[in-house]
């Protein structure tokens, strides 16, 4: 079993919403506090690997949560490249590119920001990351190279067909750590970005990429958890936990964003 813990970096900018996928800015003090809250939430939880986007806000978040454990960097986890929209607020984009902004709002999967990426571009590298991650972790389960799967599904090129998790509508009791290790559960924490994570969730759950803005939220330093049983395809994940930010809330506040 592969348990994928997914989070977004802490706060790096403040003020009006702006698109800044490739703006490589560090965490603000409040962002470090958010990362520290997630680290406290996961203290004592066995995590086998921590993989981060190379962008400084994500890498700093990963290093805080890692508390001294090694952090791997993967270029495929970078945020969507917004091209000439980088650093602009939505109001500024509307003033310069109203027609393109309207097309992007309608179909962010196939529409490229000017000089940047589309949602489908990000989905392709997200899928590539999941394929490699699943194969590497399946090898770790058995100590043997992963067996290549059958041809991929029509909707997601490169995905491997396979079994989906048993009883997908059921529940799973709390599993003691000794049992989790006996079951060869592998846990990987991925630290990336709001748009990248939402697109990755579409890929992992078989949801059209065009719906990523409508279907998913990714608050800063949230905890989202996906589970893959051995043989599952990259689009066959179970959603165990979604956008949980209870560690950022005070008693009496609602624990969601």
CB 182 within 8 A of CB 106: no
Containing structural domain, residue 216: 2-248
Q: How far is CA 240 from CA 6, 92, 217, in A?
A: 11, 38, 15
Candidates 214, 189, 184; CA nearest to 199 is 214
Predicted local distance difference test score (pLDDT) of residue 139: 81
Tell whether 75 is covered by a domain.
yes
Q: For 160-202, how does the pLDDT look when each residue is reduced to its tens digit (9 = 90+)?
A: 444 444 555 566 666 656 556 656 799 999 999 999 999 999 9
Tell whether 255 is covered by a domain.
no
**Burial code of 207-240, b = ≥16 C-beta within 10 A, e = fewer?**
bebbebbeebbbbbbbbbbbbbbbbbbbbbbbeb
Mean of all residue pLDDT scores within the chain: 87
Tell whether 94 is covered by a domain.
yes
Tell whether 7 is covered by a domain.
yes
Predicted local distance difference test score (pLDDT) of residue 6: 98
Q: For 122-134, how does the pLDDT look when each residue is reduced to its tens digit (9 = 90+)?
A: 999 999 999 999 9
Q: Work out how many domains the chain is built from and give that number.
A: 1
Residue 78, burial from CB neighbour count under 10 angstroms (0-12, 13-18, 19+): buried
Predicted local distance difference test score (pLDDT) of residue 154: 33
Q: For 44-74, how does the pLDDT look when each residue is reduced to its tens digit (9 = 90+)?
A: 999 999 999 999 999 999 999 999 999 999 9
Tell whether 254 is covered by a domain.
no
pTM of the model: 0.87
CB 193 within 8 A of CB 55: yes
Tell whether 256 is covered by a domain.
no
CA gap 201, 163 in Å, rounded = 19
Model confidence at 7, pLDDT cuts 50, 70, 90, reads very high
Tell whether 81 is covered by a domain.
yes
Q: For 71-87, how does the pLDDT look when each residue is reduced to its tens digit (9 = 90+)?
A: 999 999 999 999 999 98
Predicted local distance difference test score (pLDDT) of residue 171: 64
Greater model confidence, 155 or 120: 120
Residue 96 pLDDT > 50, yes or no?
A: yes
CATH number at residue 184: 3.40.50.1240
Residue entry with tokens 């939880």: 45
Q: What is the bridge-based pairing of β-strands 72-73 and 2-8?
A: unpaired
Residue 108, burial from CB neighbour count under 10 angstroms (0-12, 13-18, 19+): buried
Q: Is 249 helix (H, G, I), strand (E, B) or coil?
A: coil
């Amino acid at each position: 079993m592969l348990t994928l813990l997914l989070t977004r970096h802490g706060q790096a900018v403040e003020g009006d919403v702006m698109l800044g996928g490739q703006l490589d800015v560090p965490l603000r003090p409040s962002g470090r506090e958010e990362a520290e809250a997630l680290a406290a939430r996961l203290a004592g939880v066995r995590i086998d690997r921590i993989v981060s986007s190379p962008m400084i806000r994500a890498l700093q978040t990963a290093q805080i949560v890692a508390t001294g454990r090694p952090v791997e960097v993967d270029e495929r986890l970078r945020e969507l490249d917004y091209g000439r929209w980088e650093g602009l607020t939505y109001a500024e984009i509307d003033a310069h590119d109203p027609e393109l902004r309207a097309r992007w709002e309608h179909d962010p999967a196939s529409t490229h920001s000017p000089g940047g990426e589309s949602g489908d571009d990000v989905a392709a590298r997200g899928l590539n990351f999941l394929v490699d991650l699943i194969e590497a972790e399946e090898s770790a389960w058995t100590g043997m190279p992963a067996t290549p799967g059958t041809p991929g599904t029509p909707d997601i090129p490169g995905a491997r067909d396979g079994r989906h998790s048993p009883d997908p509508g059921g529940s799973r009791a709390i599993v003691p750590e000794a049992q989790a290790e006996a079951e060869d559960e592998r846990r990987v924490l991925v630290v990336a970005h709001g748009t990248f994570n939402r697109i990755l969730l579409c890929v992992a759950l078989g949801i059209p990429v065009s719906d990523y803005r409508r279907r998913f939220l990714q608050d800063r330093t949230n905890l989202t958890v996906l589970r893959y049983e051995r043989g599952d395809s990259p689009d066959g994940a179970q959603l165990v936990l979604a956008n949980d930010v209870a560690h950022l809330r005070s008693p009496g506040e609602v624990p969601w964003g």
